[in-house]
Amino acid sequence: MTPEVLAVIMFLTTLLFLLFGFPVAFTLAGSSLIFAFVGDLLGVFNFKMLLFFPQRIYGVMINEALVAVPLFIFMGVMLEKTKIAAKLLESIGDLFGSVRGGLGIGVILVGMLLAASTGIVGATVVTMGMLALPSMLKAGYDEKIATGTICASGTLGQIIPPSIVLILLAEMLQGANEEAGLLTGDLAPLPVTAIDLFAGALLPGLMLVGFFIIYILFTARLHPDKLPLKISNKPKAEIWKNALFEVIPPIFLILAVLGSIFLGVATPTESASVGAAGAAILALLRRDLNLKNISEAAITTVKMSSFVFIILIGASMFSLVFRGFQGDEMISNFLTNIPGGEYGALIIVMLTIFILGFFLDYIEIIFVIIPLVGPGLIANGADPLWLGILISLNLQTSFLTPPFGFSLFFLRGVAPENVKTSNIYAGVIPFIFIQILAIILVFAFPQIATWLPRLIN
């Protein structure tokens, strides 16, 4: 048996276990160890290669960019626990409620602000599902439109910086970029950083927000009965006052975090510490900061961060064994020989990621799939920055695609029992098509993703 065949069997076996719901980190590491042992017995793998594994873990431990992950998680959880996000949603909803479809627009804008403040999809969807969905249904909004808008708005945390997805994706793409350099003989390729991906994702993220709003306005014009007005009893002066009071602090926090990154004043890790401290200060100024909130935010941060890093370590073991079976060279050769060259290979990979997104979590796709296909695509001529934005948009779509879209699960968990699951699934379909349109536009016009990073560098 050749090492390439074992590499394919190992990949398919791991994928099968993941589909059955086995723990991701232990599945990646366990299947790798088993196949490494089998490969050593068959004489197609040197078990001593695993001695390099401690060095790979050490590389993860000393990676400063990954320190931003728990800091951004803490910032998002703190904003959620102290009800800052909830108050923002309520005030924006009142502000736009007098426009037909305005409540839906308000939800989208709040989703954008929460995305830029937290970067955590689950927190955004749950918060808006608990607060906005009852208001939208009470106002007479169609169930499908209400649930679809909340699910889609919640996924903006995947693409609008600061996003944990972009940080993890930057780490994987940098490794893929270095591997591609070895394949092409370029020993000093331009680095791919989280700052580059943050800048590259900004315009596509805002473009999506615009598309979502256009869809709401268009639907309100065609079906006004499905998106009725929501007239607030509060005086206009009070509505504007509340909106400004709730919007300005999060915007200030966003500008402090992203501004420090784009102006070159701070690295993503340093700006993440600014965001974490800023979220705590906002809670303190609003008198929402107490020992209970701090404790809950800290525990949640530790749990979520541990989840991410243990998967990263397991994926590192998988990648090491897969390369030991020469799987990376096999995939590189396969992508190179696909008809259509660079674009043909990229289309195949994007379709594969889209389909895997029906079943796998975005972290699994980033840590397992990207290290395998990334080097071949970049060696084929794909701009790693452009590739990263396309993949992040694709992963964002996976949050909406039935049957296992996580936004659908998050909303189902907090939606009233009388809201039909079928309506939640049907409600996201128009937004999935909008996501696909955004991917096609970025694919056809790479400048959407590359213009801003090139400008600030």
Q: In this predicted structure, what is the pLDDT of residue 393?
A: 92
The reply to whether 9 falls in a domain is no
The reply to whether 436 falls in a domain is yes
- The Cα–Cα gap between 169 and 65 comes to 11
The reply to whether 52 falls in a domain is no
Number of folded domains in the chain?
1
The reply to whether 5 falls in a domain is no
Least Cα distance to 405 among 163, 155, 168 occurs for 155
User: Are the CB atoms for 332 and 375 separated by under 8 Å?
Assistant: yes
Residue with tokens 């909406």: 400
User: Are the CB atoms for 269 and 65 separated by under 8 Å?
Assistant: yes
One digit per residue, the tens of pLDDT, for the chain of length 457 reads 788 888 888 888 887 887 777 777 788 888 889 999 988 888 888 888 888 888 878 877 777 777 877 887 788 778 777 777 667 777 777 777 677 888 888 889 888 887 776 666 666 777 778 777 887 888 788 899 999 999 898 888 888 887 878 888 888 888 888 888 877 776 667 778 888 898 999 999 999 999 999 999 999 989 888 888 776 677 777 778 877 887 888 888 888 888 887 777 887 788 888 888 888 888 888 777 788 888 888 888 888 788 778 877 887 888 888 878 887 677 767 766 777 667 888 888 888 888 777 766 677 788 878 888 888 888 888 888 999 999 999 988 888 887 667 788 778 877 888 888 888 888 999 999 999 999 999 999 999 999 998 887 6
Least Cα distance to 289 among 74, 36, 49 occurs for 74
Neighbours of 23 (CB within 10 A): 15
Q: In this predicted structure, what is the pLDDT of residue 204?
A: 94
The reply to whether 53 falls in a domain is no
Q: In this predicted structure, what is the pLDDT of residue 436?
A: 93
Least Cα distance to 92 among 245, 275, 213 occurs for 245
What is the domain extent for residue 408?
A: 65-305+325-456
The reply to whether 249 falls in a domain is yes
The reply to whether 219 falls in a domain is yes
Q: In this predicted structure, what is the pLDDT of residue 404?
A: 64
Q: List C-alpha distances in Å: 162 to 166, 176, 374.
A: 8, 22, 23
| The amino acid at 18 | L
DSSP 8-state secondary structure symbol assigned to residue 162: S
Q: In this predicted structure, what is the pLDDT of residue 389?
A: 93
The reply to whether 194 falls in a domain is yes
Q: What is the 3-state secondary structure (H, E, C) of 286-310?
A: CCCCCHHHHHHHHHHHHHHHHHHHH
- The Cα–Cα gap between 352 and 344 comes to 12
- Find the length of the chain: 457
